[in-house]
Amino acid sequence: MKKLLNIVLFSSLPIRKGLVFILFLLLALFLRYPSFGYTAIDWDEITYSLIGEGWLQGKLPFRDLWDIKPIGIYLIYAIIHGIFGFSVFAIRVSTLLVVVFSAFVIWLLLRRVNRSFAFTAGFGFLILFSYFLNGLSGNTELFYLCLETIGVWFLFYGKKQYRILSPLAFGFAFIIKYNTAFDIVGFYFLHLYLNRRKILKNPTSIFSYGILYSIAILPFILSTIWIFYAGLGDSFLETHKILFSNYAKKVTFIEKIFSLQTYPLLAVLLLFQLITFLLYSAKRKVPKILILSLIWSMTAFLAATWTGYFFEHYYLPMIVPAVIGSSFLFRLAKRKFFSKYKQELTIVIAFLILIPFAVLVRKRVIKLSKVYPDIAKEIYVDIEEKKVDPRPVFVAKGTHGIYSLFKQIPINRVIQPGNFTDQTNAKAMFIDNEEIKQKVIQHKPGLILFCDLDVFQNPVSSYDSSWNRDLLIFYYDYIRKDYRYFKTYFPNCHVYLKIGILSP
């Protein structure tokens, strides 16, 4: 057994990489599989999925299907559905593979400088990422974090001839989410600091580093050229007006710091990382990867809080650098006490501490359906039992996950229902009420989902000014005329079927 563990975790044999990847894959499958059947863990992932699938069907992002994220995330989902098909299961399998690959790269980053705890760090990352429910969803953070981790590997540990892949990885991460700009700038200045002696001897070398990092803008330039060539420029610029408009909450830096109290487990991990860095600083021998992890945590925190909205998935990218930095705390163990059994100590930590924690996290994932009822699936199952086909379906307000279950792209250009029913969002995002009305009239949906109100029971006057009133009045008139009430779903979601779909 000891010999097998040495081969898997500590030897230099080529088979080791494959075995480590398989172990990470098995752990991730154990943790995440209970979530595979859930329709929409996060609001955004279904939006990206629908736009990605729509792209495969010939509908272009920004023009035919619209949201305000960069084009990279839609391209990723087009690839996912092109390979695995259009389904929620395809999203879950893809996110599983992405987090496993991230864990594997963490292991690669640490195995040379913190060999004993590299495997444990990868294990810990997988557990922590599944602990946060948004870590189970296919959000932008999951994908750009993997690319950033790959970029860090090529930048600091890859062979020199492949170093150009580092800024390219950062560049592709950037067109998935612009928040990565914080990290790219941080990596650049850290790179200059680590090579300060070389720069002092040859000041012009600073330009070579600038040229290297400037390659990161290449994916953005190329994708933007294609966007304008395809005639999507106006809609693309429209999204940037929204992204960089003054829509964010104004909060102080102190409020941003205190936002971490919402996620105490992450806050504790960051504290461990800081303590580890200070302890190594006192010894005046700080490993390069430890400095990197601290800078990365700081830039990831700025990226997570710059808008003033403190959503859970914004904080997920901090997990990778925090896990890397915290792992060095164990390395401070006195060699005279653990010189013989230090590698075995890794196994003890992994199996006596992390495995029980993994079991608890899996139970937390299983409770997902109890905490967040899968309304979309309930609707789909009930309609299937009636043996009718209500397509096209239309989500006027509520979970747009039902589109995926019915294998249908939304009939409307704007994907997220909350963007066109809420007055503030509708104004900020230039929602065209008439466009949505015409789409509904044209397609005559067989099923309409409306959450937060009952069209048949409550008059328009009973709802406050937060609603997009013009659209709300249209829904009232349209639904009351041609639809009948089918069923109510928790929390207060109502399904209306077109008259004639179900026999009386």
Summarised one tens digit per residue, pLDDT across range 272-327 is: 999 999 988 887 788 888 999 999 999 999 999 988 888 889 999 999 999 999 98
Summarised one tens digit per residue, pLDDT across range 344-380 is: 666 676 677 788 888 999 998 888 767 778 899 999 9
Rounded Cα gap, residues 122 and 118, in angstroms: 6
Q: Are 395 and 446 in contact (CB under 8 A)?
A: no
Question: 430: alpha, beta or left, given left = phi > 0 and alpha = psi -120 to 50?
Answer: left
Q: Are 376 and 399 in contact (CB under 8 A)?
A: yes
Summarised one tens digit per residue, pLDDT across range 211-226 is: 888 999 999 999 999 9
Quick check: bond before 264 cis, omega within 30? no
Summarised one tens digit per residue, pLDDT across range 435-470 is: 999 999 999 999 999 988 888 887 777 777 788 888
Summarised one tens digit per residue, pLDDT across range 41-96 is: 888 999 999 999 999 999 999 989 989 899 999 999 999 999 999 999 999 999 99
**What average pLDDT score do residues 421-447 get?**
89
- Categorize the per-residue pLDDT at 333 as very low, low, confident or very high, splitting at 50, 70 and 90: low
pLDDT at position 163, please?
A: 82
Summarised one tens digit per residue, pLDDT across range 135-163 is: 999 999 999 999 999 999 998 887 777 88
pLDDT at position 134, please?
A: 87
pLDDT at position 24, please?
A: 94
Q: Flag the least confident range among 61-70, 251-260, 290-299, 398-407.
A: 251-260
Place of tokens 């349209």: 478
**In the structure encoding, which two tokens stand for residue 64, read together?**
């035919």
pLDDT at position 503, please?
A: 62
Quick check: bond before 219 cis, omega within 30? no
pTM of the model: 0.91
Sign of the CA dihedral 404, 405, 411, 416?
negative
Rounded Cα gap, residues 305 and 251, in angstroms: 9
Residue 177 has pLDDT above 50, yes or no: yes
3-state secondary structure of 79: helix
Q: In what order do the strands lie in the sheet with 483-489?
A: 393-397, 447-451, 493-498, 483-489
pLDDT at position 258, please?
A: 86
Residue 1 has pLDDT above 50, yes or no: no
- Mean residue pLDDT across the chain: 87
pLDDT above 70: percentage of residues in the chain? 91
